[in-house]
Structure 1
Amino acid sequence: MGFNNWNAFGCDVNAALIKETADIFVSSGLKDAGYQYVNIDDCWSARERGADGRLVPDPVKFPDGIKGVADYIHAKGLKLGIYGDAGTKTCAGYPGSLGHEEVDAQTWADWGVDYLKYDNCNNQSDGSQADYVRRYTAMRAAIDATGRSMVYSICEWGTSQPWLWAEGIGDLWRTTGDISDSWSSIRSIIRQNAPLAPYAGPGHWNDPDMLEVGNGGMSATEYRSHMSMWAMMAAPLIIGTDLRQASAQTLSILGNREVIAIDQDRLGVQASVVSDSGGLMVLDKPLAGGDRAIALYNSTDSLAVVSVAAGDTGLARAGAYRLRDVWTGDTLQARSTISAGVPAHGTVVYRVRPLRDPSATAPAVAVGAELGTVVPGPAGGGTLTTTVTNRGAGAIHDLDVSTKVPAGWTATPTEIVTSAATGGGGAVVGGHRRERLATDATLETTWAIGVPADTPAGRYPITVTAAYRWGPRHRAATTSSEIVAVVVNAPADGRRHLSTLSPVTSVNATGPVELDQSNGGPLENDGSLITVGGAVHTRGLGTTAASEITYYLGGRCSKLVTDAGIDDTAGAGDTATFSVYADDTLAATSGSVATGQAAKTLTADLTGAAWLRLVTTSGSAAAVRTDWANPVLTCGGVPDDSPVLPQSQTLFSFESGTDGFTIANPGDGGTVAQSPLFHTDGAAGLKVATPAGGNWFGRALSAPLDLTGKTMLKFDVQAGDIGTVGEIAIQVGDAMSWCQGGFWAWTNPHSSRTITERFDQISCPAGVTLDPSAIRAVWVFLNSGGEVYIDNLRAE
């Protein structure tokens, strides 16, 4: 348990930040809760080793060296971590430890380092598992030779399946790629790490990466799920937010003692997956003393009732069970089924034990609801179906179900029992009553939901509450769940890439529908740029047949034009059919297409259609990777020559040569040349021979570049045999101040992707303001140690 600066600060690390974080560990109570390691990530050292071959701390960032920081940390009863790399250079281009293991381990030991995160960039590997074992074992031996105890964190992103070999070498090992502050990242990592329970245990832990709690990209519900599932998976809890500005809510999530106790339980068992279906997962973790932690996890976008029979877990047989909710503090009882209404992206965690006498404990009552997409207006609305299930030992009585909808909305029950009352800005409507509900019985009710015609698209909460009495004393209790109503509006006027619009529903044979990349497999963002018949596309939808994607048009759109074809990564001989439906009318179809064929252009007339459906069907025995390339939707009667939104401004496309690209650090090596082998704009791109440690490639501009109104920079990259890191930097103002984001995106060998850097992610030196109208140079970083291809450096 501890802290690492990377998720919140990237390369912007210094002694003051590390010391201030240690201070907060003590003052906030995080130290008492168990957090003890304060870890420094990449960019802490000078760019070159010292004359004696040792690593040198950056004298500006760490004026008293790393040892001075270590002494400060140790004086507070905490421990210090450092970052290294099992390659020639770190991911950010600082000296790596490959071939320097002994001297670096001894240097860190001399400084008083207690923890090493050991990364995998610029690794010079042949890709074999044997090479990974060799490189990481070399640092293990070097640490042992120092005689100093250090936690050894292997960070090779799960590439060589370290859970199969790293026990006895590392204390923990990364099982996935880098985490990001988004729900899609959390969901993907859970899916990868949860099945690896058999490989974790005391002294050898699966590491799904550091915590993002508090960084602002997710909701409180999502952050609680993040913390809950890391605890269930017995994962390291390494804080990755700026604790100097952390809110009370963030500190309460990170400091929840009951959740931490599950994570740090002395048995050291990672929870096993009891069930996993339709985005709903149940995990079971044995705890010291005989209790078990049961997590009910809902990765879907809607409220769901998640349940598990006690007999399907490791719980001993009993007449009833005590459920302690570690987030709310509520104590409930259930007879034989553990169940809860779990909000979208939410997780309920119970600490469970057998209960001899349930009569004095409130019953577990699960409230669920379903509501389809809501269209505003008199002809729209939707039907809300609610369920209340009694899981307690003994009946509940005088059950009354009510709903609270947003202000201006209506909820009409099938049978009105009590009149509507107003409160809290919305309408509370009671409508369904049952005198008695037995154990494991369910009351299902329906409501007609009305939504004003001028309601903007968005997500709106509806609360469903069950009020009832329980036990021999007929005590009053309530259970509530929140369902999110998704309101859709028709698209605005204009021509736009379909991948910029949110679908209402999507069904895919394998994994999610991917935006602007192919569907690579079961996880999010695991594809490459869409490639059909050798042509590469930066916009589109990557699917796997059979698939179906639905959009709401509201009768406002006239045409969809798209290229359709099987991705070049599909199997030889695969076939599929692409169909576009306007409501239930077939508006365009490709007929059967095969792997390797050029994409077919489809034009669909959507005039008057309320709904658009994109359907792919497989003509092969297996699922087939199918691409909708460059789909452009026209709405509002705009001319066909209107610009496609979002508008993109090409800065360099390498059609006439190298566009003046050069090398920022000539001493580090590298070359550039025009090449037709990879291009996403025009007929040529740029072939870049990168040095082992990487370099910046780009050019200074003869006149300032005005990108006012643009919000991001992008370029497309195709990696060679080794893979590459990609990053963007700019220079601004007359002083040519260097600004970069510090977010190093990895592209796997022989894969392609778009590297994106938003202006609001880019950091400039102190006193320098990023002025988009005064950009003086543009650079991209590549570091494969081999050939890499790039194209279409652009602003959007």
Structure 2
Amino acid sequence: MWTKPWLIVFTLAISLSSFAQHRNFISLPAARFSTGDTAAWALSSYNDGHWKQVRTGHVWQEQGYDGYHGCAWYRIHVKIPSSLKNSGFWKDSLRIFLAHINDVDATYLNGVLIGKTGAFPEDEGGYVSKWPAVREYHVAVNNPAIHWDEDNVIAVRDYDGGGSGGIFMGDPYIDMLERTDGLDITMPVDEIKYGKNGMATQPLHIHNRFNTPVSGTLEYKDHTVAVQLPAYGQLSFALNVPDKEGISYYYRFTEKGSGLQVYHQQAFPYILTPPVSLVPRINSAKVYGVRPGSPFLFKVAATGIKPLTYHIDHLPSGLALDTQTGIITGILDKKGSYQTVIHVSNAKGSAVQNFVIKAGDTLSFTPTMGWNSWNCWGINVSAEKVQSSAKAMLDKGLADHGWNYINVDDGWEAPARAADSSIVTNSKFPDMPALGSWLHQRGLKFGIYSSPGPLTCGGFLGSYRQEESDARTYAGWGVDYLKYDWCSYESIADTSLEGYIKPYRIMQQALRKQNRDIIYSICQYGLKDVWKWGREVDGQSWRTTEDIEDTWESMERIGFSQDKLQAYAGPGHWNDPDMMIVGKVGWGENLHASRLTPDEQYTHVSLWCLLSAPLLIGCDLDKLDDFTLNLLTNDEVLAIDQDELGSQAKRVSANVWVKDLADGGKAVGIFNMDTTRRTISVNWKSLGLDDYHVVRDVWRQKDLGVLQSSFTKSIAPHGVMLIKLIK
């Protein structure tokens, strides 16, 4: 519909889709590659004929360099014709786009440094990762480093501090920079104002990042506006949008003179979750595990107009309830199953729920629910940022819906251990025990991160040969959760199954010696079928896949690949398809709204709950928008994840997943995997589900009527219909 000769498509994220080539771009699909580090490799005169060739856009671990960390170089040979310069409109600069580079790079053009991102270990201040920043470097057209109509060498020195390494997640290219490339045009979802009249207000911002004026025409909705932006200038507009499914809106900026365009269309993030009732509702899981003799901490999750008053019948000896906060503390000395009843009341009414406390060897009877710092802060995490997210979890009501873990991921460790070899924090975490105490006082759990190897993924100190010391330290700090990340251990492990199990067994034994329950999250990306042995080393959860990204391709590949793992999930042990990618994410810098469409985010949350997956929010909770809050506070959806039966959903047809529930019902996810809206019909009898009576729309929290022989629903692209069948 919007056909133009040179279309520049922008999305609103720091991602490869944020950048698109202009006409006559030069693709850079391959490079010569060598591990190691020599200064002469930056020079165009160096003879790299004996180097191996690799594909750009793919990590080197996929190309015969599995397990390698440290410095490596790419040398890309390319002829840059002057016709490329002549084809541009602005004729100011050449753009060299290198996609993502993990983790630090220095990039040279014919021996001249044209850009550097991050800091190498030898730099002043030491190693600073900039994963997953996009590398795009600009070179003035009159710079003698460019050899027009001749061969050029783009040499990239890359330092990988752990995990995957190299140029990846995109297709590098060269083109001419244009003025439109300096435009940031955004419609931020966290600034949407939802009204009570079924309408919402969406702001649109346009910002010129370049030191040169830009003029043109901006079209949005049914408006056309002449725009003149000075250097670094900004303008804002407002769109009125219906708050309902199926609405999309767009902008299109056309630069005067060149005709180049910046165009974007996005689906409106509509709200399905009904408002929370003023009457109390108890949202806690119905069963909780603790080991005898360990400190007990549990916050009853309940909604309703404040203040709420809490009471528990048959609370076992050794435990005490704060009737104003709903926080249970104490110690249970004896094994046993304690049947209690929770009561919550306020001025509008009361709620009651049975609650079983099981004192024994099993922890995590239901999957963990909480927040992890990595997907938003990466290694730039700090105590201040963690505390800010914890406050938001409380202030925005997430804790009232069952979210309770606050987990500090990589980046908290000091560069050296103490004199007694104990692990210590860096300056960003001046008092880790105080942070843990602050969280516990508010009923929240405290998580931390380490690696079985010498270094973590971010290049910080791991726990190799210091497992018992670190476990004691964690227990002393009041830690309730440990994410133990494979990373640099791959350079130590032998290739046998036992070689992969060994480091996790060592830390298991160290944790077991502590007088504290610490949830053990095994993070090693599904290597050696971890789901088959993770339970043997006391893992309460184990990662089954590589890291997730905020794209449909990543989420679809990871989430829908779990259908063969049902037998390995259950109370106390869970398959973990990685953290959630809703809200503002960024992995350290330049946070951006998730690139998943609203419908894809509904699919994401629905699928993770059907899978009985650990639910760890990865966004900045302090900047949580209304749409994301809606996704994370639907109690009927979350109850599917927290169902005490602990069953993982099974794929029963191409589009349908079914999960058994403790009350005898079934949770059913009907997914549209296509890129266009589809009408999908489900025959209940053919799936063996025809003995149920009521169909309930879980997201909208409303009954759809009596079960018929089949169910037909029009579902958005990459969308879902999440229902419950009730007997």
State the structure with bigger RCO (CA 8 A, min sep 6), 1 or 2: 2
**Is the strand fraction higher in 1 or 2?**
1
Asked which structure has the greater CA Rg, the reply is 1
